[in-house]
């Protein structure tokens, strides 16, 4: 099966376990040369995007419950929130893979890797949630990440600017304090999962940064000026610290960008 068509099939799969298994199988098939790639193909979705289960209920961010680290339920709520982010991240990687034709073959290989690693992250968090006595879908969640994916469906440049290098980069900043909270609460298994996620997410943000730079050069745009214009046009959330400067530099942000954040 053609890789982008297969990614769309994974994207429309609603069951989380089936989706993660399908992504893993797609990655194996691609590595074995069993998937063709047609970057120019016009592939049309015939099912709802994204596929996702009936639960969790999606609510505004302000209505997501508080997460006290002093109780098992509070820690489970935090793990559930992280699992929901990773589930959405699987879908955004699959969407980036199938939606945008005409990119170099390496672009599709990169986003296949992201989808594979996001599926792994979700599986880790969902399994850990079960050790706490809960399942994915037991708590409500918000949909802010996917809302920006939908906003940027018309332009791969906007997608690279505002999803990986904006919203996912915020995950680099949020990871260390969340890890510290879980470790302080004695949940070292969860803390180790966050270590894996941070390691991989640096690479995911770097992929977004790299393709954003490629597209800016292709279109003759200044990186910072184009980003400011896109952030205003698509109403991207304001960037607020503290920032994980080391991780951002590893993820391909320039010294100039980092200095601007710090100031």
* Residue 12 counted as domain residue: no
* Residue 192 counted as domain residue: yes
Total domains present in the chain: 1
* Tokens 């809302």, residue located: 147
Buried/exposed code over 46-56 (b: 16+ C-beta within 10 A; e: otherwise):
eeebbbbeeeb
pLDDT at 143: 86
pTM here is 0.96
Cα(91)–Cα(115) distance, rounded to whole angstroms?
8
* Residue 98 counted as domain residue: yes
The pair phi, psi for residue 58, each rounded to 5°, is -100, 125
* Residue 147 counted as domain residue: yes
Cα(143)–Cα(136) distance, rounded to whole angstroms?
15
* Residue 107 counted as domain residue: yes
* Residue 142 counted as domain residue: yes
* Residue 9 counted as domain residue: no
Cα(129)–Cα(178) distance, rounded to whole angstroms?
16
Domain containing 174 — which CATH number? 1.20.1260
* Residue 250 counted as domain residue: yes
pLDDT at 241: 86
Q: Which domain holds residue 210?
A: 67-262
pLDDT at 63: 74
Name every residue whose Cβ is closer than 8 Å to that of residue 119 and which is 6 or more positions away in sequence.
19, 20, 23, 24, 90
Cα(225)–Cα(255) distance, rounded to whole angstroms?
16
- Note down pLDDT in tens along the chain; length 263 residues: 899 999 999 999 999 999 999 999 999 999 999 999 999 998 998 888 999 999 999 988 777 767 788 899 999 999 999 999 999 999 999 999 999 999 999 999 999 999 999 999 999 999 999 999 999 999 999 888 899 999 999 999 999 999 999 999 999 999 999 999 999 999 999 999 999 999 999 999 999 999 999 999 999 999 999 999 999 999 998 888 899 999 999 999 999 999 888 87
Q: Within its chain, how far is the Cα of 203 from the centroid?
A: 11
Per the CB < 8 A criterion, the answer to whether 124 and 83 are in contact is no
């Amino acid at each position: 099966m053609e890789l982008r068509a297969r990614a769309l099939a994974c994207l429309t799969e609603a069951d989380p376990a089936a989706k993660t298994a399908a992504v893993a199988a797609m990655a194996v098939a691609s590595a074995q040369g069993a998937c063709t790639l047609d970057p120019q193909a016009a592939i049309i979705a015939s099912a709802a995007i994204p596929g996702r289960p009936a639960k969790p209920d999606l609510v505004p961010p302000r209505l997501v419950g508080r997460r006290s680290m002093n109780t098992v339920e509070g820690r489970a709520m935090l793990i559930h929130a992280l699992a929901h982010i990773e589930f959405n991240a699987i879908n955004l990687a699959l969407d980036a893979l199938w939606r945008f034709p005409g990119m170099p073959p390496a672009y599709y290989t990169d986003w296949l890797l992201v989808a594979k690693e996001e599926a792994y992250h979700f599986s880790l968090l969902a399994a850990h949630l079960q050790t706490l006595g809960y399942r994915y879908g037991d708590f409500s969640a918000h949909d802010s990440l996917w809302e920006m994916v939908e906003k940027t469906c018309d332009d791969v440049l906007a997608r690279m600017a505002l999803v990986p290098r904006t919203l996912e980069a915020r995950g680099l900043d949020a990871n260390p304090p969340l890890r510290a909270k879980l470790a302080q609460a004695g949940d070292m298994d969860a803390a180790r999962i966050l270590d894996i996620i941070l390691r991989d997410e640096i690479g995911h943000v770097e992929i977004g940064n790299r393709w954003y730079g490629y597209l800016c050069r292709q279109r003759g745009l200044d990186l910072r000026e184009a980003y400011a214009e896109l952030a205003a046009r698509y109403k991207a959330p304001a960037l607020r610290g503290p920032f994980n400067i080391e991780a951002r530099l590893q993820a391909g942000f320039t010294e100039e960008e980092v200095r601007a954040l710090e100031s």
